[in-house]
């Protein structure tokens, strides 16, 4: 590992003071804009692929024109707790070897929590990107809500994506001087892709006049929840013969096996492997409806004018619901069908503009995050040079 770290630093001609940890595809997507902003600064950035979903992170970064500086071994753990322990140990060793001076974790994954624990163990200031999201239930969604609540007390700097997230942190007693409302970095990437206007071919689309997208992966929906959502989707297609559906299937066998059993033989349903970012955004833009239990899609779809049906009991992104861009519906077959039909019958909502009034930001969050990190390092430098 020492050789790899040395090579990475030499390639940029300077040491990197800020370590950034990515372990999953959504983390990689949300970190790309920040990594680019930090690499343009003297402090630099050391992007670490934690090994949680190593191949998927590598592919996602490559697709977006970014590379990890340090890739840790893919973990193989029989349980969530074992995964966190393994990730914590190898991230702790990586932070010590690379000698970064601050650590950024994103969101609420096992890598984010393990990275926070590792930073605390090594004695490095922790920066939490996408801080302050709260669902209102301490264990739902699990383990995401638990992780983000446990990360908060460890963070020296909280980069909140929305005003509501910042208020959540202040309500928990976090020092206001440690909280910054910056916007969500995924909107930076989305804005770049929308403004670039890439022509993206989607040859797998069903030959139907209308299109819906389905994504399911939340642990809280394993088993009966997946069955209910899939059954409701079949009801919807039965009631709407002009509607086709695309479902990128999550690689977790607990999800994929069930989805394929329910939806794999329907003539108007296309099941795909997980899509790269650009084709997935193109799919959302072409869809009249997305049915999902994802968090990130609740942020992205409103900027594309695609209505979102969130099949969960609660959400940590109430801004989309308040706007009317997302509808929260519990896992009940008849309710999902009714709400999906209502959204398909309604006029398509207007896409959010990338401006200061948009709840998830204007697509310039990474610059604000980088400035806040510069300020943190400057304060640290000043404290280290003060006389005893």
Residues 47-103 pLDDT 10s: 999 999 999 999 999 999 999 999 999 999 889 999 999 999 999 999 999 999 999
Query: β-strands 126-129, 157-160: how paired?
Result: parallel
Residues 140 and 258 grouped into a single domain: no
| Residue found by looking up tokens 């190898």 in the block | 90
> What are 334's two structure tokens?
């008849």
Its pTM stands at 0.91
CB 162, CB 318: distance < 8 Å: no
Q: Is residue 199 part of a domain?
A: no
Residues 228 and 324 grouped into a single domain: yes
Q: What pLDDT is stored for residue 91 in this prediction?
A: 98
CA distance 367 to 285: 26
Q: Across the chain, what does the average pLDDT equal?
A: 92
Q: What pLDDT is stored for residue 383 in this prediction?
A: 79
Kind plus residue range of the DSSP H or E element containing 168: helix 163-171
Kind plus residue range of the DSSP H or E element containing 10: helix 2-12
Q: Give the whole-number percent of the chain exceeding pLDDT 90.
A: 81
Range of the structural domain that residue 288 is part of: 210-345
Kind plus residue range of the DSSP H or E element containing 174: none
Q: What pLDDT is stored for residue 163 in this prediction?
A: 96
Count of beta carbons in the 10 Å neighbourhood of residue 365: 28
Q: Is residue 116 part of a domain?
A: yes
Kind plus residue range of the DSSP H or E element containing 336: helix 333-345
Q: What pLDDT is stored for residue 102 in this prediction?
A: 97
Residues 168 and 250 grouped into a single domain: no
Residues 336 and 368 grouped into a single domain: no
Q: Is residue 41 part of a domain?
A: yes
Q: What pLDDT is stored for residue 109 in this prediction?
A: 96
CA distance 192 to 48: 24
CB 230, CB 308: distance < 8 Å: no
Q: Write the CA distances from 176 to 21, 124, 154, 299, integer angstroms.
A: 25, 20, 15, 25
CA distance 72 to 88: 12
pLDDT band at 222 (very low <50, low <70, confident <90, very high): low
Beta-bridge mates of residue 211: 244
Q: Is residue 31 part of a domain?
A: yes
- Reading phi first (left if > 0) and then psi (alpha if -120 to 50, else beta), residue 294 is in beta
- What is the edge-to-edge ordering of all strands in the sheet holding 308-311? 269-272, 243-248, 210-215, 289-292, 308-311, 326-329
Residues 369 and 246 grouped into a single domain: no
Q: Is residue 203 part of a domain?
A: no
Query: Strand, helix or coil at 324?
Result: coil
Residues 176 and 246 grouped into a single domain: no
Residues 103 and 231 grouped into a single domain: no
- What is the edge-to-edge ordering of all strands in the sheet holding 157-160? 70-71, 46-49, 18-22, 102-106, 126-129, 157-160, 179-181
Residues 147 and 281 grouped into a single domain: no
Positions annotated as catalytic residues are: 108, 130, 144, 217, 219, 250
Q: Residue 25: CB partners within 8 Å, gap ≥ 6?
A: 53, 56, 57, 60, 274
As for how many domains the chain has, the answer is 2
Residues 27 and 93 grouped into a single domain: yes
Q: What pLDDT is stored for residue 3 in this prediction?
A: 44
Q: At what angle do helices 110-122 and 144-151 cross, to 10 degrees?
A: 20
Minimal CA–CA distance to 21: which of 63, 64, 53?
Answer: 53
> What are 161's two structure tokens?
């994506």
- CA 235 distance to own-chain centroid: 30
State residue 155 phi and psi, 5-degree precision: -85, 140
The CATH number of residue 147's host domain is 3.40.50.2000
């Amino acid at each position: 590992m020492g050789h790899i770290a040395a090579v990475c630093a030499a390639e940029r001609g300077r040491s990197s003071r800020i370590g950034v940890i990515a372990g999953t595809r959504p983390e990689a997507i949300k970190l790309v804009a920040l990594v680019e902003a930090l690499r343009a600064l003297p402090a630099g950035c050391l992007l670490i692929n934690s090994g949680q979903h190593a191949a998927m992170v590598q592919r996602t970064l490559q697709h977006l024109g970014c590379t990890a500086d340090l890739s840790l071994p893919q973990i193989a753990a029989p349980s969530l707790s074992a995964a966190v322990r393994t990730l914590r140990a190898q991230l702790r060793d990586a932070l010590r070897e690379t000698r970064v001076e601050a650590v950024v974790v994103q969101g609420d994954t096992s890598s984010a929590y393990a990275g926070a624990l590792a930073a605390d163990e090594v004695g490095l200031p922790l920066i939490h990107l996408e801080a302050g999201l709260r669902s209102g239930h301490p264990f739902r969604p699990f383990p995401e809500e638990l992780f983000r609540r446990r990360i908060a007390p460890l963070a020296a700097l909280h980069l909140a994506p929305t005003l509501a997230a910042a208020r959540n942190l202040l309500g928990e007693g976090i020092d206001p001087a440690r909280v910054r409302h910056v916007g969500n970095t995924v909107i930076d990437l989305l804005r770049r892709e929308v403004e670039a206007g890439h022509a993206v071919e989607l040859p797998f689309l069903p030959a139907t006049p209308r299109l819906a997208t389905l994504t399911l992966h939340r642990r809280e929906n394993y088993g009966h929840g997946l069955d209910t959502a899939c059954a409701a989707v079949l009801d919807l297609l039965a009631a709407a013969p002009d509607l086709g559906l695309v479902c990128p299937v999550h690689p977790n066998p607990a999800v994929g096996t069930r989805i394929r059993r329910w939806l794999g033989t329907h003539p108007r349903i296309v099941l795909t492997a997980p899509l790269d970012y650009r084709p997935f955004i193109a799919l959302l833009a072409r869809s009249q409806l997305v049915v999902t239990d994802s968090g990130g899609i609740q942020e992205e779809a409103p900027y594309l004018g695609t209505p979102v049906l969130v099949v969960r009991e609660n959400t940590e992104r109430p801004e989309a619901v308040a706007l009317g861009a997302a509808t929260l519906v519990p896992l009940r077959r008849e309710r999902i069908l009714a709400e999906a039909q209502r959204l398909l019958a309604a006029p398509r909502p207007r896409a959010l503009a990338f401006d200061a009034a948009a709840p998830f930001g204007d697509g310039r969050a990474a610059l604000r995050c980088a400035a806040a990190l510069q300020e943190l390092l400057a304060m640290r430098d000043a404290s280290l040079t003060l006389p005893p």
